[in-house]
Amino acid sequence: DVFLAHDDLEPSAEWSREIRAQLLAADIFLPLLTDNFPNSKWTDQETGMAIASDKLIVPLKVDLNPYGFAGAIQALLLDPDNVEAACAKITKTIAKNPRLREGFLDGLIKMFSESFSFEDAAAKATLLVQFDGYTPQQVRQVLLAIVDNDQIHKSFNAQRRMANFIASYGSQAEPALVKKARAAMQ
């Protein structure tokens, strides 16, 4: 889940308390370093809280380099005309983080299992095979999604990607479930 204060705060919420709570609950902090960033009375404090609470911080440089304690963290150059490339780099950064990997992959599998069209299933399958390190339980969840969701097992493009996934991870799952997933994709 993503929290953006200006979009997510409910009317009448005590916003400073809610922002603190969200910062403490967050796993990842993405400061957007524009020329206006240092002009805010809050952004430096929010960044400091994220650093002090040992969050994964991925500074997104639009105009400025990270400064202060965040200056020791490599920023990701954010090209406003190619936000998709930055998002791909952010996801790879999260997936490499040992503390966040399992939760990240769980979220990816949940999105995959909820595919709502053949195209969506193919896109999510493409994402799944870009990452590695799946646990046996996660492999089981992927196989169950293949079996249970006809948008996945009937999608030609998802089938090809899932055949590769099964080739890589099938040995971690019950043979009967692997067989059932392969049969669903026939």
* 133-171 pLDDT tens trace: 999 999 999 999 999 999 999 999 999 999 999 999 999
- pLDDT tier at 80 (50, 70, 90 boundaries)? confident
CB 25 within 8 A of CB 2: no
Cα–Cα separations (whole angstroms), residue 64 to 55, 59, 68, 137, 154: 21, 10, 12, 42, 47
Q: Which amino acid is at 71?
A: G
Contact yes or no for 170/178 (Cβ under 8 A): yes
Q: What's the pLDDT at 4?
A: 62
User: How many CB atoms neighbour CB 162 within 10 A?
Assistant: 27
Strand order in the sheet with 60-61: 32-33, 60-61, 76-77
Of the ranges 5-19, 43-57, 66-80, which one carries the lowest mean pLDDT score? 5-19
**Average pLDDT rounded to a whole number, residues 103-122:** 97
